[in-house]
């Protein structure tokens, strides 16, 4: 397997809308769980696509989430670990999705209690590789999987299960979840050398920084309302925002942003709240400005535009 095809690209964060093809409304308004779908009723040429500006990938607006694949006897592989995945039905659903324009399939080593990638690989390998895009994840939630060797093994196993020699999108799974999200990110991806390993393998574009967010929001008061609203606003502008709520000293918080290469830090104290603004600091230049949320978003988006002219992971 060549490094050129090891990855095509990885998005720091990507979201796909799941498609539950096993449960569609029929013409009588009832719900069918048999997997039988009247194809004549569904047009095959109406899918909307978006072009990834970094890779040129033409990605269907509707993605297929492989978290709840059907199992024999009903339910899904997420809830029922004892029943076997209904591979025949999975194949039919994937065939239907592809035939109707869906080309983005999102899975994970953790989905369906560890069985999703295998079933996804079987279903998709029956089709030409250039007809679909695969997103999978580094789902190293368990501290036992935090060492570098475990992370590498997890990725190589994903390639094996998916029956491919590259994935189109590799996602860092569950970044920021839980009470110690920022600290766990450090353990899972930074201090163990996993991101460094990607760089050493010439997978990462050294001109870009694989930070977990574009802006780290630091609330300076006990009331987190304004900080949460700022995070929601930024995310609505398609800016990855991380809200830092751990009770640590200011220097430690700034050190976290600096270590992970987060480009901007937003401070929200009493003075900022009184003016309905935030203090936005550029971590590279040291410049700090008092801005409205809209002004801050425009500054961050312009920085993203300049940085994202390259790919995060080389093709």
pLDDT tens per residue, range 267-301: 999 999 889 999 999 998 999 999 999 999 999 99
DSSP type of residue 167: B
| pTM score over 0.85 | no
**Mean pLDDT, rounded, for 148-155:** 90
- Indicate if the pLDDT at residue 18 is higher than 60: no
**Mean pLDDT, rounded, for 176-191:** 74
Instruction: Dig out the tokens for 33 from the structure.
Output: 């769980």
β 49-51/288-291 pair status: unpaired
Q: 162 φ, ψ to 5°?
A: -80, -10
CA neighbor of 126 nearest in space, from 97, 150, 146, 149: 97
CA distances from residue 219 to 29, 113, 190, 244, 260 in whole angstroms, order as listed: 49, 37, 24, 7, 19
Q: What pLDDT, in 10s, does the model give residues 67-121?
A: 999 998 887 888 888 889 999 999 999 999 999 999 999 999 999 989 999 999 9
Q: Where are the domains of the chain?
A: 1-173, 209-315
- At residue 185 the predicted structure's pLDDT band, cuts being 50, 70 and 90, is confident
CATH entry 3.40.50.800 includes domain 209-315: yes
The per-residue b/e assignment along 125-146, b for 16 or more CB within 10 angstroms, e otherwise, is eeeeeeebbbbbbbbbeeeebb
CA neighbor of 20 nearest in space, from 72, 106, 93, 95: 93
CATH class of domain segment(s) 1-173: alpha beta
Looking up tokens 């766990």 gives 184
Instruction: Dig out the tokens for 212 from the structure.
Output: 């977990």
DSSP 187-199: IIIITTSHHHHHH
Name 171's Cβ contacts closer than 8 Å, sequence gap at least 6: 10, 11, 12, 13, 14, 135, 136, 137, 138
Instruction: Dig out the tokens for 113 from the structure.
Output: 């209690």
């Amino acid at each position: 397997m060549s490094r050129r095809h090891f990855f095509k690209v990885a998005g720091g964060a990507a979201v796909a809308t799941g498609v539950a093809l096993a449960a569609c409304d029929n013409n009588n308004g009832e719900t069918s769980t048999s997997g039988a779908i009247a194809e004549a009723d569904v047009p095959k040429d109406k899918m909307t696509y978006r072009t990834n500006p970094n890779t040129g990938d033409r990605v269907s607006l509707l993605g297929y989430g492989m978290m709840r694949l059907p199992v024999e006897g009903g339910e899904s592989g997420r809830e029922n670990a004892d029943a076997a995945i209904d591979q025949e039905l999975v194949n039919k659903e994937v065939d239907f999705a592809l035939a109707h324009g869906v080309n983005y399939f999102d899975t994970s080593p953790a989905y369906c209690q560890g069985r999703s990638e295998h079933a996804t690989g079987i279903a998709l390998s029956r089709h030409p590789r250039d007809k679909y895009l695969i997103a999978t994840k580094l789902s190293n939630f368990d501290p036992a999987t935090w060492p570098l060797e475990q992370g590498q093994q997890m990725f190589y196993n994903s390639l094996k299960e998916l029956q491919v020699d590259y994935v189109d999108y590799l996602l860092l799974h569950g970044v920021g979840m839980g009470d110690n999200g920022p600290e766990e990110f450090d353990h899972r991806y930074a201090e163990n050398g996993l991101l460094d390993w990607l760089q050493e393998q010439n997978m990462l574009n050294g001109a870009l920084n694989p930070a977990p967010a574009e802006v780290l929001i630091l609330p300076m008061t006990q009331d987190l309302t304004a900080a949460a609203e700022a995070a929601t606003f930024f995310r609505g502008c398609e800016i990855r925002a991380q809200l830092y709520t751990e009770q640590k000293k200011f220097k430690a918080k700034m050190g976290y942003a600096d270590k992970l290469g987060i480009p901007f830090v937003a401070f929200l104290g009493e003075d900022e709240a009184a003016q309905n603004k935030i203090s936005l600091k550029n971590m590279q230049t040291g410049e700090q400005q008092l801005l409205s949320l809209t002004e801050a978003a425009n500054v961050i988006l312009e920085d993203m535009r300049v940085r994202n002219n390259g790919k995060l992971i080389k093709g």
